[in-house]
Structure 1
Amino acid sequence: MAPTYSNLSIIVLITVLLVVMSSCAGWVNAAEDPAAAILIRVDPSGKGDYVKIQDAIDAVPSNNKDNVFILVKPGVYKEKIVVPADKPLITISGSKANAVIITWNDSGNIFESSTFSVLASDFVARYLTIQNTYGAGAKAVALRVSGDRAAFLGCRILSYQDTLLDDTGRHYYSNCYIEGAVDFICGNAASLFEKCHLHSLSEGDASITAQRRESPSEETGFTFLNCKITGVKTALLGRAWGPYSRVVFAFTYMSDVILPQGWDDWGDSSNQRSVFYREYKCYGPGANSKHRVEWSQELSGKEAEPFLTKYMIGGNTWIRSLPTRFKKASTAPKSNKNH
């Protein structure tokens, strides 16, 4: 069961959109006015600017310098979406995650099978369901994040194998529900997962994480803070995709889905000397460290400090708030209502 999120901020936002739309034209430079944004509406009924999310993204100019807020009305969007690298500063927002469903069915190459690919920097997603319905048997990514400074708030991310390819860059996930079985959070980003619900579909010893840090000089790794882990049977916390794989769980509830040993070296005992697998004040039946592998450790309070705030990813400087003012583009977007 996915967690329930408060929609008060989105309700306030929609009210603002309906009542206080600015009459001024022109793109709003993000550096000059970070609280303002260009509004683009996606509505499958044809009452918005576009009926497809990808068309709204395509309407944003290359080398974009403006905050763009794409408001997505409820519906099922059967789309394979890409946010290109030359289109930063985009927010895509629904009103609640289970009302806006972005879905595709693909498998194969981990970088190409994703339903939703974020290649741009300074991206925000709010209240979206992103899913790959392929199922078991192959790599089938729901969300690929390869841009820097990306935030996902109140989203549902669903697949089976390699659900979330948290590839590269600094990322923040808050109040998200992430579901899968095999290595379903994988990659080599520097990411903070805060108050997220991880649900394992593993029937045996598949791992929740497969972090790929390959050298001690890389400032990457996954931190799970105040999260919750549930599942259908049994699973491991993580396995070493890279020899310096780094994963920390802090203040996290672990159900009995977590196997006592906790971690796996991916069949290479040399990884045991270099991985960084740590836990701090986790609780629940799966958090018992008595039978953990000897090469994982419990952090001390001092050791845990760097992992307990957004400062670890610099998020205090780049995680964007909701815009408070909206303007239309100087050139109105071409509608695809009849497509």
Structure 2
Amino acid sequence: MAPAYSNYACIFISTLFMFMLASSRADAAAATSTAILINVDQSGNGDYKKIQDAIDAVPSNNNELVFILVKPGVYNEKIVVPVDKPFITISGSKPNEVIITWNDSGNIFESPTVTVLASDFVARYLTIQNTFGPGAKAVALRVSGDRASFFGCRMLSYQDTLLDDTGRHYYKNCYIEGAVDFIFGNAASLYEKCHLHSLSEGDAAITAQRRESPSENTGFTFLGCKITGVRTAVLGRPWGAYSRVVFAFTYMSNVILPQGWDDWGDLSKQSTVFYREYKCYGPGANARKGLNGRES
């Protein structure tokens, strides 16, 4: 990576790091401050048996911290956090014990198992999955609110797992699994210490970032992450002409193909996208020139 690009990547990471600190404080506040506590328990020993019922109980234009504690179980629900219900935290105790699951496909805005439209949202220790499998777009999680944070969560699907749509988002210690464009959208997001697992059997892309203009302050940064997979994949392809993705200090297994990136069949995008790797390591982190100068 040329020094100028190295500096640019560091500035981008630093900006998102400041957002990460703010998000961490918001999460801590939601967990420890005086908040409205709602218990969800399928056995009937809580306030509600369904997560959506607990969300529906939060008043419109909410301005108080609401902490929804979900007891272990498999919750077969299609969940929406409306735009007029900010300041909600949904928390399990362990991600493999609280599973929110649905089976839907088709439209990326209608198929998600969980849709977050509200701002100042936090999710902790949950599994969110779409079990549709190969053959169609099947989103597990859509995040379209601002200042959303996810801690220790698992997002599972095959195609288009995580629609990281719009807003500023932070993901820490999350496990994200899929095969085709399984992290996509046009948010400004930081992924810290996340595990990305590709189910691709060939050259499918992990990311498809949709920045469409050089004036948009959006992009994905992966910091201290880990990439594994079942066969081979590329790091990303440009859904938008000015797609921007940075991997820094990330372990890449040999699942990543030598070319690293794909131009989605449009050579013109090679001069407008910003795809960089900074001090990544592992057998898939070869310092080779590819799309727009793939070079660590």
TM-score if structure 2 supplies the norm length? 0.88
Aligned position for 1:317: none
Matches within 5 A, 1:124-163: 124-163=122-161
Q: Which residue of 1 aligns with 2:249?
A: 251
- The residue aligned with 1:112 is 110
Task: Calculate the aligned-residue CA RMSD, in Å.
Answer: 1.1
Q: Which amino acid aligns with 2:119?
A: S
Would you say the 8 A contact 1:118–1:146 is kept in 2? yes
What is the rounded CA distance, in whole Å, between the counterparts of 2:292 and 2:64 in structure 1?
Answer: 47
* CA shift digits 1:158-190 (9 cap, x unpaired): 000000000000000000000000000000000
- Identity among equivalent positions (%) equals 82
Once residues 107 and 252 of structure 2 are traced to their aligned partners in structure 1, the CA distance between those partners, rounded to angstroms, is 31
Structure 2, unmatched stretches of 5+, are: 1-28
User: 82, 85, 92: which is aligned to 2:83?
Assistant: 85
CA distance in 2, matches of 1:294, 1:41: 49
* Letter of the structure 2 residue corresponding to residue 121 of structure 1: S
Unaligned stretches of 5+ residues in structure 1: 1-30, 300-339
Matches within 5 A, 1:39-78: 39-78=37-76
The residue type paired with residue 169 of structure 2 is H
What's the CA shift string for 1:255-288, capped at 9, x where partnerless?
Answer: 0000000001111111000000000000000000
Q: What whole-Å deviation, never above 9, does each CA across 1:28-65 have from its counterpart, x for those lacking one?
A: xxx9xx82210000000000000000000000000000
For the residues of structure 2 that align with 1:89 and 1:267, how far apart are their CA atoms? 42
CA contact (8 A) 1:213 1:243 kept: yes
Question: Are 1:175 and 2:173 an aligned pair?
Answer: yes
Q: Which residue of 2 aligns with 1:22?
A: none
Residue of 272, 281, 296 corresponding to 2:293: 296
**How many residue pairs get matched?**
266
**1:314 aligned partner:** none
Native 8 Å contact 2:262 2:291 kept in 1: no
Counterpart-to-counterpart distance in 2, 1:86 and 1:252: 37
- Which letter maps to 1:276? F
* TM-score, length-scaled by structure 1: 0.77
By relative contact order (CA 8 Å, sep 6+), the higher-ranking structure is: 1
Q: In the aligned structure 2, how far is the partner of 1:134 from the partner of 1:212?
A: 24
User: 2:263: which partner in 1?
Assistant: 265
Letter of the structure 1 residue corresponding to residue 259 of structure 2? Q
CA distance in 1, matches of 2:205, 2:232: 9
Matched residue, 2:227: 229
From 92, 95, 98, the counterpart of 1:97: 95
- Give the ranges of 4+ consecutive aligned residues of structure 1 lying more than 6 Å apart after TM superposition: none
Q: Report deviation, 1:76.
A: 0.2
1:181-228 Cα distance to aligned partner (Å, 9 max, x none): 000000000000000000000000000000000000000000000000
In the alignment, the residues of structure 2 paired with residue 289 and residue 200 of structure 1 have an alpha-carbon distance, to the nearest angstrom, of 21
* Structure 1 residues 117 and 294: alpha-carbon distance in aligned structure 2, compared to 1, 3 A threshold: closer
